Chain A
Amino acid sequence: MGKFEIALFALCAAISIAGALVTVGARRPIRSALGLLATILGVAGCYLLLEAQFLAAIQLIVYAGAVVVLFIFVVMLLGSASTSPRDAKSAVPRYIGAGLFLAGSLAALLLILRIGTKVEQVLPPTPAGFGSVEGVGGELFTRYVVPFELAGALLIVAVIGAMAVARGKQPDPTLRPAAEAAGAAPPGASERGATEPAPGGKSAEPHGGA
C-alpha cells in the first residue's frame, strides 16, 4: 500500500468516524441522519480503496441514496415535535461516554501494537475481475450461494418482525382514564403487568378488513 493510499484511507476513515460520532451525539435527528450520510460516504471510499468498486457504488445508491433519504423524509414529516424533552438535556454525559469508548478503543489498539512488532500481509492479492459486477455476481452465486440464500431468510424475518411490531399497537389500559380502565381490567391487574386491551375496545383485528 503506497503512501497516497494510506493518506486516502486515513481521510475516508476519519470522515466515517466523525460521521458516526455526529450520528450518536447530535441533538437534532436531522443532524444524526446527515452524520450517518458522512459515515456511509467514508465507508464507500474505503471500499473503493479495497478495489471493490461495484460494492462502493451499491453502498452509495442503496444507503446514501435510498436509506438516508428515507430517514430524512421521516424526520421531516415528524418535525421538531419528534424530539423528546430528554433529548434537549445536556449532552455532557454522552460526550463522556463517547470519550471513554474512544479511549478504550485506542488502548486496545495500542495493546495490539505493543504485543507484536510488525503486521504482515497474510491476505492473498485480489484476483483479476475482483470487485466488478461479474466478479461479485460470480462469487455470490457460486461459492457464496448458501450464505446468500440464508440472507434471504434474514430479510424475511426482518420484514415480518417490523410488521409484527408496527401492526400490534394496542391501547394500554394503564394509560387510560381511571374509570374506563377500571371497567376494562380487573382491580390489581394494572400493577401486575396485565396489558390486554379492553374487550370491545380498539383492538386491532388482524385478519379480515385489513
Chain B
Amino acid sequence: MSSFLVALAPLLVVGLGGLLLMLGEAFAHRERGGSGPSADLAIGSFVTLAAGAVVAFSLWLVGPENLGGAAGVAPFLIIDRFTLFFDIVLCVGGALAALLAGGYLPEHKLDRGEFYPLLIFSTLGAMVLASAGDLLSLFIGLETMSLGVYALVGFRRGSARSAEGAVKYFLLGSFAAALLLYGGAMLYGATGHTDLAGIGAALRGGTLTGADYGLAIVAMVLVLAGLAFKVSAVPFHMWTPDAYEGAPTPATSFMAVAVKSAAFATLLRVLVSAFGDPASMSWGTGWPPVVALLAVMTMTVANLVAGRQESVKRMLAYSSIAHAGYLLVAVVALMTQPGIAQGSILFYLLAYTVSTAGAFGALILCGSRGKEAVSYEDLAGIGHRHPVAAAAFALFLLSLTGVPPTAGFFAKLYVVRAAIGGGFLPLAILLLLNSVVAAYYYLRVLVYMYMREPAPGAPVAAPMRSGYVTAALLICAAGVMLLGLWPTRSLELAIDAALAAR
C-alpha cells in the first residue's frame, strides 16, 4: 500500500500542497489595505510545485521500475521515466507561472487568492494527463486541466476581451473534449478496451472485423482532432490568440507552456501505445500523413499571421502555435525513428518551457498597471528605460528564434535531425524556412526595444519592478543558458524518458 503512495508521490505532493494552501488562505487574517493574498500564495505555490518537480526527479533517480507500487496504479496512471520527465516539465512551468503571478496580480489589481489553487490543480490535471494510460484517466486529467485554465482565462472579469477569450476557449474546448470522448467511446466499442495498451494490442492483433476496424479509424481521427485542439494546431487554433490575449499574462504563460506540454505528452502516448501498430504508423494507411499536413499548415499559417500582429502578446500566441507545428514535424518522424524523435520532442518542450515562460515574464516586467506593454510601439526604447527586462526579453526571443548559444538552437537542431534522419527532408526544409520567417517578428521586438525611441506624446509602457518576476526570469535565463551550453546531459535524460515510453 505504501509503495502505491510512493509511486503517486509527485501527484500527491502537488494535490495536498494545493489543498493546504487553500485551507491556510481561508483562515488567514488580512488587514484591509495590507498585502494581498499573492504575498503568501505565490511563494507557497512555487514551493509546492517545485517540490513536485523535486519528488519526481528523486523518483527518476530511484528508477520507476524499482517502485513496487507503480503496477498498482496501472493502467490508469503509468509511472515511468516518460511520465516523470513530464512531471518535472509541467511542475517547472506551473511554478514559473506562480512566480509571475506573484508580481503580475497585485500590480494589476487582480489579487484574488483563487488564482493559485486553480493554477496548482490545473498543473495536477496536466500531470495526470501526461501519465494517463487509460482513456478514463486521460479524460479526467484533460478536464481537470482545462476547467482550471478556462477559469484562469476569464479571471479578469471586468474585461470584455478576457470574457470573449474565456467563452471562446470554453465552448470550443468543450466541443473538442466531446470529440475526444466520442472517439474514446468508439475505440471502446471497436476494441473492447479503454486502456491504451489494450487498444494497441487489439489493433496490432489484426483480429478486428472490417466494421470494427473502420470504427477504430474514425475514432483515431476524432481523438487526433481533440488533441490537435489542445496543442492548438491549425485549423484548430482559432481560440488561441483570443484566449492568450484575454488571459492574465501569467495564465497565458501557463497555457503556452504546461497545457501544450501535457497535450503533447498525451498525443505521444496515444499515438505510440494505442495507434502504434504497423498499419496505423504507415504513411499509406495511418496517421502520419494527417499529422504531417497539420504540421505544415500549423507552421506556415501561424508564422505568416504572427508577422502581421501589432500586439506583442498576440504575436507570442501565434508563435506558440508555430512551435506546436515544429513539434508536430518531430511527431511525424516517430514513424521511422521513434526513439530519437520522441527524445527531440521532450528536449524541445523543456527548452520551449523555459524560453516561453521567460518571454511572457519579460513582457510582464515591461509594463505596469494602466501602462501595460501591449504593442510593439509600447516597447520602443525600453532598452534604455529598463535594461534588465529588455535584456531578458532579448535572450528569450533569441532562444525562441533558435540562435546558437541558447536552448532553442539545440531544440530545433534535434527536431530537424530527427526529421531528416527519419526521411522527411521536405518537412525539415519547411521547418527551417519557417524559422527564418519567425526570426523576422522576433527580431522586430529587439529592433523596437533597442533602436527606436517612442514618438513624443505617445503612450509608453512604464516598466514595473517585482522580485517575483525577476526571480522567475533568472530561473528561465539559467535554464536557457544551461540547455544551450550543455545540452548533452538533458538530451540524454530526454532520450531515456522517450525510450521508457513503450
Contact = CB atoms under 8 A, between A and B. Distances in A.
Contacts of A151: 140
* Binding site secondary structure of chain A: loop
B459 A188 contact: yes
B148 A157 contact: yes
Interface residues of B, number: 70
B210 A160 contact: no
Interface residues of A, number: 55
Contacts of A119: 209, 211-212
Contacts of B151: 157, 160-162, 164-165
A194 B309 CA distance: 18
B140 A172 contact: no
Interface string B103-144: 000001111111101100110110010000010110011011
Contacts of B374: 192-193
Nearest to A174: B160
A108 interface: yes
A174 B161 CA distance: 11
A86 interface: no
A147 B137 contact: yes
Given A115-B210, A165-B151, A169-B157, A207 B30 contact: yes
A156 B156 CA distance: 21
A85 interface: no
Contact of B210 (A111, A116, A174): A116
B211 A112 contact: yes
Contacts of A206: 36-37, 111-113
B408 to A, nearest CB: 29
A195 B372 CA distance: 11
Interface in A179-210: 185-189, 192-197, 203-208
Contact of B144 (A120, A157, A164, A165): A157
Given A160-B151, A186-B370, A197-B109, A153 B125 contact: yes
Contacts of B28: 207
A108 B183 CA distance: 12
A193 B159 contact: yes
B157 A161 contact: no
A144 B372 CA distance: 48
A3 interface: no
Given A150-B128, A161-B147, A192-B372, 13 more contacts: A112-B218, A117-B211, A124-B192, A144-B136, A150-B141, A154-B144, A156-B121, A160-B118, A162-B151, A165-B154, A168-B114, A196-B108, A207-B113
Interface of A: 108, 111-120, 122-124, 144, 146-147, 150-151, 153-154, 156-158, 160-165, 167-174, 185-189, 192-197, 203-208
12 contacts: A112-B218, A122-B192, A147-B140, A156-B121, A157-B118, A157-B121, A161-B151, A189-B370, A192-B374, A195-B159, A204-B112, A207-B37
